[in-house]
Amino acid sequence: MNAHSAEINRILAEKELDGDCSVWRERFEGVGRGDVERALGQREGAYSLERLVALVSPAAEGYLEEMAQAARRLTVQRFGKTVRLYAPLYLSSYCVNSCLYCGFNKDSESQRCRLSVEQAVAEAEVIAGEGFRDILLVSSEDRGFVDVDYLARLAGELRDTFDSISVEIYQMTAEEYGELFAAGIDGVTLYQETYDRRAYRYYHPAGPKADYDNRLATPDCIAAAGMRQIGLGALLGLADWRCETLALAEHANYIIKRYWRSQVSFSFPRLRPAHEVDGLQFEHLVGDKNLVQMITALRLCFADAGLVLSTRESAELRDHLIRLGITKVSAGSKTSPGGYSHISDATEQFQIDDTRTPGQVAEMIKAAGAEPVWKDWERPIAME
Ligand code: SF4
C-alpha cells in the first residue's frame, strides 16, 4: 500500500463498500417510492451516499424517465449542448497481468504487437486525419517498452496536433505521473475494475495489478501529480453494479474534495466479448436499463463530472445515452496496436460494438441537437 491509500481505504472499509456489500444490498431493498421521490426533489447535482442509494435502488427503476430528464437538464446547464469526441490509440498488447476478462491477459494465445514511437505517430496521424484533437494513449502493462521516456517522446511528437493527450495505462508513481504531465499529458484514466476485494482477487490472480490497495491508491498519485483530468470507473459485470456505483461515488467524492484542481470523470465500461474470455463466467452483467440508471444517478449526484462512453456500446444505445448526460464519446475506435494504419493483425483487447465512422458519430450528435466538439477548448486556460 502506498502513502496515499490509507484514507480512501479507510473510507471504503468503514462504510463496508470494499466487500460484498451485503449491508447495502439490504438497504437497496428497503428503499421505497417516497425515498426515491425525496432524492429526486433534492438539489440537482448534489452528492450524498443516502441520495445515491435511493437513485440506484430497484425502486428507482420506476423513475427512469424523471431521472433522465433531470440528468439532461443538468448536463445542458453545466456543459452546454456539446459532446466531445476522442479516439484511443493502442501502443502495446504485451502484458504481465492476468486479468481474466481481457484479451491481452499474459496467458492468452493472442497475437501481440508493440508500436515504436514512429509507428504510434503514424497511427496518430490517421486519427488526426479523421478530425480528432483529443487522443487517449492506451497500453497494457508493458513497462519495459512503454515506459515514461517512450510516453514523453510520443507526447512531444503529438503535442502540436492534439489539444488533449491522456493515457490509460498501467499504474505509475506520483513522480512518474509528474513526468508525463510535464511532457504534455494532462489526463489519466484508471479503473478500479471492481471495488469488491474478493471479486478483485478472483479476476486479478497474478501480476502487479493483483494488488487491490495499490490500485485504489493510484488516483491519489495521479491527482498529486497535477493531472487535470482523472477518469474513474468500474468494469461493469465483475460485481453488483449498485454496490460498485456507491463505492465509485465515494472514491470520486474523496478525490474531488481533496484535489480541487483535477476534474473527475466517470466511465461506464461494460464487459465485452474478448479473445479467449468465456462470457458465461460473469454473473453480474448489467442490462441497458440499469446502465441508464447508473449514468443518470451519477449525473444527478455529480453535476460537474465528465461522463464518458466508449464504442463498447451499441450505436442504438449510444444515440440514446448522449441525450442523458454523456459529455464525451469515442468513435471509430480500434482496440489493437496498429489497428488504424493496418500495420499488424494483432488481437484486439475486446470487441467494439458501435462500428460507425467518426463522421457518422458526429452526424448522430448533431441530429440529437448537440454540437460535436473535436477540440479541447479548456487547455490553453488550464495550461497557463
Ligand atoms: S486489463 Fe490491462 S493489465 Fe489486465 S491483462 Fe488486460 S491489458 Fe493487461
> Does the C-beta of 90 come closer than 6 Å to ligand 1?
no
Ligand 1 centroid to Cα of residue 95, in Å, is: 6
> Does the C-beta of 105 come closer than 6 Å to ligand 1?
yes
Question: Which residue's C-alpha comes closest to atom 7 of ligand 1?
Answer: 140
Tally of domains in the chain: 1
pLDDT of residue 342: 84
pLDDT digits 0-9 by tens, 71-91: 999 999 999 999 999 999 999
What amino acid occupies position 335? T
- Which among 299, 243, 267, 275 has a CA at the least distance from the CA of 347? 275
Pocket test for ligand 1, best of 95, 136, 138, 168 (most atoms within 8 A of CB): 95
What amino acid occupies position 116? S
Mean pLDDT of 241-255: 98
Pocket test for ligand 1, best of 101, 141, 348 (most atoms within 8 A of CB): 141
Spatial distance between the Cα atoms of 324 and 365, rounded to a whole number of angstroms:
12
330 pLDDT exceeds 60? yes
**Confidence band (pLDDT; 50, 70, 90) for 4?**
low
33 pLDDT exceeds 60? yes
Shortest-distance atom of ligand 1 to CA 209: 3
pLDDT of residue 377: 53
Tell me if 87 sits within 8 A of 132, measured CB to CB: yes
> Does the C-beta of 209 come closer than 6 Å to ligand 1?
yes
Please say whether the dihedral angle defined by the alpha carbons of residues 125, 127, 129 and 133, taken in this order, is positive or negative.
negative
Tell me if 145 sits within 8 A of 97, measured CB to CB: no
- Which among 365, 381, 316, 380 has a CA at the least distance from the CA of 84? 365
- Which among 159, 211, 218 has a CA at the least distance from the CA of 188? 218
Name the percent of the chain lying above pLDDT 90: 83
At which residue does the C-alpha cell 510535464 appear? 182
384 pLDDT exceeds 90? no
pLDDT digits 0-9 by tens, 340-366: 988 878 888 877 889 999 999 999 999
Ligand 1 centroid to Cα of residue 7, in Å, is: 26
Ligand 1 centroid to Cα of residue 46, in Å, is: 34
> Does the C-beta of 302 come closer than 6 Å to ligand 1?
no
pLDDT of residue 375: 80
383 pLDDT exceeds 50? no
Spatial distance between the Cα atoms of 103 and 105, rounded to a whole number of angstroms:
6
109 pLDDT exceeds 90? no
Ligand 1 centroid to Cα of residue 166, in Å, is: 18
Ligand 1 centroid to Cα of residue 258, in Å, is: 29
Q: Which domain holds residue 188?
A: 5-382
Q: Tell me the β-bridge partners of 85.
A: 329
Provide CB contacts within 8 A for 227, sequence distance 6+: 177, 181, 185, 186, 187, 188, 262
Name the percent of the chain lying above pLDDT 70: 96
Q: What is the largest CA-CA distance in the chain?
A: 59
Q: Return the CATH number at 35.
A: 3.20.20.70
pLDDT of residue 380: 42
User: What would the grid cell of residue 369 be?
Assistant: 441537437
Determine the angle formed by the axes of helices 33-41 and 64-79, rounding to 10 degrees.
10
> Does the C-beta of 99 come closer than 6 Å to ligand 1?
yes
Question: According to DSSP H, which parts of 168-287 are helical?
Answer: 174-182, 197-203, 212-224, 241-258
Spatial distance between the Cα atoms of 232 and 222, rounded to a whole number of angstroms:
11
- Which among 86, 92, 87 has a CA at the least distance from the CA of 338? 92
Spatial distance between the Cα atoms of 216 and 203, rounded to a whole number of angstroms:
15
Ligand 1 centroid to Cα of residue 82, in Å, is: 32
Other residues' Cβ atoms within 10 Å of the Cβ of residue 321: 21
Ligand 1 centroid to Cα of residue 207, in Å, is: 10
Spatial distance between the Cα atoms of 287 and 306, rounded to a whole number of angstroms:
22
The SS3 of residue 11 is: helix
Tell me if 217 sits within 8 A of 4, measured CB to CB: yes
pLDDT of residue 3: 55
pLDDT of residue 350: 78
The rounded Cα 202 to chain-centroid distance in angstroms is 21
Mean pLDDT of 184-197: 97
> Does the C-beta of 318 come closer than 6 Å to ligand 1?
no
Q: 16-48 burial, b for 16+ CB within 10 Å, e for fewer?
A: ebbbebeebeebbeebeeebbeebbeeebbebe
